[in-house]
Amino acid sequence: MKDKIRTHWDGRASEYNQNVRQVIYSDRDKTAWQKIFIQALGREKLNILDVGTGPGIVANLLSDLGHNVTGIDVSESMLKIALTNSKSLHNSLRLVQGDGERLPFESGSFDAVVNRYVLWTLPDPKKALAEWRRVLKPGGRLVVVDGTWYRNGKDKPLQKRLLEKLSVLLMLITERKFPEHHDMNDDVMDKLWSSRQKRPEADVEMFKSLGFCQIQVADALNRKLLTNLDYLKNGHCGERFMISGIK
């Protein structure tokens, strides 16, 4: 399962970066995302681990805010792009290749652990959360941003299929390009824990069971992050949410 997921992201690294890089190069998108992380982490300078950093989107957002950021990802292709992005933005990131469920860091190493769009892909989410908790200092905060990307697995509801068709038309009109959707293989998609769980409720229960306190949930983030037009083009992908807790 992990090999299939790593292969998926290695193959999509360049395309994925093109799809999401506006978050760090667009002033509007950068400000919107930084407000969300400031809400969760405050403004004090922290030593932060970004798990599943990908092309370094969150890592660069947080570095711009003055934090000391380490990014880890299983995909070598993603890390190469993360390095390019960090150099372009004149940020100094520590980038490490490794498994997000078996972190190569000592316990209590970080003030905060963050990740964006990672937990849904992991074969054993509770094990991952426990590992992220391990590397937190006492009183440190875990922040997870995720979404309901493949709810119901490959069996997409009619409404989602219609919104996808609308998004293609809008993309052709506004950007003069035909969007490319590279979904997970059906067999992988249906095995994802996140495809069959009600979220973020399932996430909250895992946080509680692992001993996190002061758990906070911010859902319906799409409206905060997307313009009305972007929502029509991309809202079909799933609803974003953020959940955080204190060790």
Q: What is the CATH number of the domain that holds 109?
A: 3.40.50.150
Q: Is 156 within the bounds of a domain?
A: no
Q: Is 54 within the bounds of a domain?
A: yes
Give the CA count within 13 Å in the CB-facing half-sphere of 59.
Answer: 30
**What pLDDT shows up at residue 164?**
63
Q: Is 175 within the bounds of a domain?
A: no
Question: How many folded domains does the chain comprise?
Answer: 1
Q: Is 174 within the bounds of a domain?
A: no
**What pLDDT shows up at residue 85?**
94
**What pLDDT shows up at residue 153?**
44
Q: Is 217 within the bounds of a domain?
A: yes
Alpha-carbon distances, residue 136 vs 66, 107, 124, 125, 236 (angstroms): 19, 7, 19, 17, 34
Q: Is 155 within the bounds of a domain?
A: no
**What pLDDT shows up at residue 110?**
98
Give the range of the structural domain holding residue 217, as residue numbers without chain letter. Answer: 2-147+196-226+238-246
Q: Model confidence over 30-50: pLDDT tens digits?
A: 999 999 999 999 999 999 999
Q: Is 24 within the bounds of a domain?
A: yes
Per-residue pLDDT of the chain (247 residues; tens, 9 = 90+): 666 666 656 666 677 667 777 888 889 899 999 999 999 999 999 999 999 999 999 999 999 999 999 999 998 899 999 999 999 999 999 999 999 999 999 999 999 999 999 999 888 999 999 999 999 999 999 999 998 876 554 555 666 666 665 555 555 566 555 555 545 555 666 678 888 889 999 999 999 999 999 999 998 788 788 666 565 556 556 788 999 999 9
